[in-house]
Amino acid sequence: MNAFPRLLAIGLLISSAQAANPPREWTSSDGKSKFQGDLIEFTDKEVKIRHRIDFNQYRLPLDRLSKEDQDHIRGLLREKRRDAGLKEGVYAEKVTGQFVKGVSKQGLNYQLWGNPKLDATKRYPIVVWLHGSGQSGNDNESQLGGAPKIWTTEGKQAESPCFLLAPQCPSADIGWKNQVADNLLALIADLTDHLPIDESRLYLTGSSMGGFGTFSIAAKYPQVFAACVPLCGGGDVKNAEILKNIPFWVFHGDKDDMVPVERSRATVEAVKKAGGERMNYSELAGEGHGITGVVYPRSDLHEWLFKQKKASLTSN
């Protein structure tokens, strides 16, 4: 039997492993010793490293390494977990190609849509939909009214595959602020920890109370979202400086008899005056308050939104 093909295959496997985990200078937890080595195996408890000089392999408890090295391993574990997230893990059963109900660790009701056939080694955007005041409550059902479900259709998914998250605000008296906003961001963070979600492509959109929530959450967490699409809402003009660097496409009907169109106009004007060159505004002639069915099917919006990507991520 010719051993060359087998040796070649082994060589390719080794090369692939080294490409995935290139040589690294490792440092002990006390900072007194350093060495060049190849990462062979890793868990949340220990690592196996091949020394680059003598080629011996060593198993080391994770806590024997520097904090930087420990963070590196935890990052690799996170990506490994995300790669497997559609088939195993805490959210795998909720990714079915249908909207599936759940309750976050913080008690926030939500429904999640995802395609189980996605290539989990790739990363995909997630759209977060914020409903209006009338869908508030605890039935974990009403919040889908007005949601951009058109973006989950086969045709749209072929163009721009994504996840869609629809949380439910427990009370219109609370709205999308304070603890509700914090709970939502905690849920988004947990989803990105366990599913193949592209953290540079988190999109926020909402209508009416959800439109106001889109502005306020973007202002509270300006480093999180790659783009925002508020409908028939409005924001605090005092937040213009914070919002000016976030891509927005704002929509409002000029015949809205529930939320005056001036609310969007004022916010857009304030952000532009602050130097916000990424603020887009479409005022819909003859349209009233219910504009989700007009806005979300727009191909220009869909194309624009899914092109938006944060240039860099800032960790806090």
Fold (CATH) for 4-83 = SH3 type barrels. (2.30.30)
d(CA 176, CA 178): 7
Whether 300 shows a pLDDT value over 50: the answer reads yes
CA distances to 60, 244, 256, 271 from 267, rounded to whole Å, are 55, 11, 16, 6
Residue 22 is predicted with a pLDDT of: 78
> Across residues 52-70, what is the average pLDDT?
94
d(CA 89, CA 70): 22
Q: CATH 3.40.50.1820 residue ranges in the chain?
A: 92-305
- Classify each residue of 135-165 as buried b or exposed e, where b means 16 or more C-beta atoms within 10 Å of its C-beta: bbbeebebbbebbbbebbeeebbeebbbbbb
Residue of 53, 49, 55, 44 lying closest to 27 (CA atoms):
49
pLDDT class of 20 with cuts at 50, 70, 90: low
Whether 4 shows a pLDDT value over 70: the answer reads no
Q: CATH 2.30.30.700 residue ranges in the chain?
A: 4-83
Tallying the residues shown for the chain, one arrives at 316
Residue of 79, 198, 72, 176 lying closest to 130 (CA atoms):
176
pLDDT class of 71 with cuts at 50, 70, 90: very high
Residue of 70, 66, 67, 50 lying closest to 58 (CA atoms):
50
DSSP letter assigned to residue 65: B
For the chain, the average pLDDT equals 93
Whether 294 shows a pLDDT value over 90: the answer reads yes
Quick one: which H or E segment has residue 266? Answer: helix 262-273
Q: What percentage of the chain exceeds 90 in pLDDT?
A: 90
d(CA 24, CA 84): 25
Which range has the worst mean pLDDT, 54-58, 90-94, 270-274?
Answer: 54-58
Which range has the worst mean pLDDT, 7-16, 19-28, 113-122?
Answer: 7-16
pLDDT class of 258 with cuts at 50, 70, 90: very high
SS3 content of the chain, % helix, strand, coil (to 5): 35, 25, 40
d(CA 250, CA 159): 23
Q: Which residues contact 171 (CB under 8 A, 6 or more apart)?
A: 136, 137
Express each pLDDT in 162-198 by its tens digit. Answer: 999 999 999 999 999 999 999 999 999 999 999 999 9
Residue 133 is predicted with a pLDDT of: 98
Identify the three-state secondary structure at position 33.
coil
Sheet strand arrangement including 100-103? 100-103, 109-113, 163-167, 124-130, 197-207, 227-231, 248-253, 279-284
> Across residues 213-231, what is the average pLDDT?
98
pLDDT class of 64 with cuts at 50, 70, 90: very high
Q: Specify the CATH superfamily of domain 92-305.
A: Alpha/Beta hydrolase fold, catalytic domain (3.40.50.1820)
Express each pLDDT in 88-108 by its tens digit. Answer: 989 999 999 999 999 999 999
Rg (CA), the chain: 24
Quick one: which H or E segment has residue 17? Answer: helix 4-20
Number of other CB atoms surrounding residue 218 within 10 Å = 21
Residue 246 is predicted with a pLDDT of: 98
Residue 100 is predicted with a pLDDT of: 98
Measured between its terminal Cα atoms, the distance across the chain in Å is 57
d(CA 70, CA 223): 25
Residue 312 is predicted with a pLDDT of: 63
Which amino acid makes up residue 260?
Answer: P
